Amino acid sequence: MAGKVTDEKSFGSKIKQLRLARQISLEALANKTGYAQRYLREIEEGLVIPPVSAVIQIAKALAVDSGSFLSAEAQQRSETRRKESFLKRTQAYAYKTLTPDAQTKHMKAFLVTIDPHQDHRMVEYHHEGEEFVYVLKGQVEIIVGDNRNVLKKNETLHFDSSLTHKLRNLSSEKAKLLVVIYTP
């Protein structure tokens, strides 16, 4: 079962199970990912669901395919039930993998939905590679480093994802984005 996880457990408990199985301390995982131990502990305890970029970075640090986290639920549930579950679990931030067969590839695409006037817990993220965002619906703010970008429907942004970045929905409707992440 190397590199694959089952659906019976929460995302955070899967992360913790893999970390412990690989005998990686929380401190070592923090050093490998660049995320604070406190944030990683919150993920493991199910207090926060990380964005796609963090899932990819954590999976890479644990030497497991990120698709095993992001596509398992999609394979198990109907469209309606899966959508409700994702929205409920992630509170204001939901994502769905659009490239489930690209598990071992460098490029992955996701459909990201953010509730009105919400962000992802005001946390900045960074990961190796590049990121491309295409706004399908709504208006979002993406801060990359010190640069604030406001994007509306049909607008795009391409940036170096090793720079800290965060995302927020500025509109009164759900924002939908196509996000493509490249990791070397």
Distance CA 20, CA 71 (A): 22
User: Full-prediction pTM beyond 0.75?
Assistant: no
What percentage of residues in the chain have a pLDDT greater than 70? Answer: 76
* Domains of the chain (ranges, CATH numbers): 90-182 (2.60.120.10)
Tens digits of residue pLDDT in 25-47: 998 898 888 888 899 999 898 88
Q: Regarding predicted confidence, which is higher, 105 or 170?
A: 170
Residues 110-128 have a mean pLDDT of 76
- Residue 143 is predicted with a pLDDT of 87
Tens digits of residue pLDDT in 43-85: 898 888 787 778 888 888 898 877 666 654 444 433 443 444 3
Say if residue 119's pLDDT is above 80.
no
* Coil, strand or helix at 58: helix
Burial 27-55 (b: 16+ CB within 10 A, else e): eebbeebebeeebbbbbbeeebbbbbbbb
Half-sphere exposure of 114 (CA within 13 A, CB side): 27
| Nearest in space to 73 (alpha carbons), one of 43, 92, 47, 95 | 95
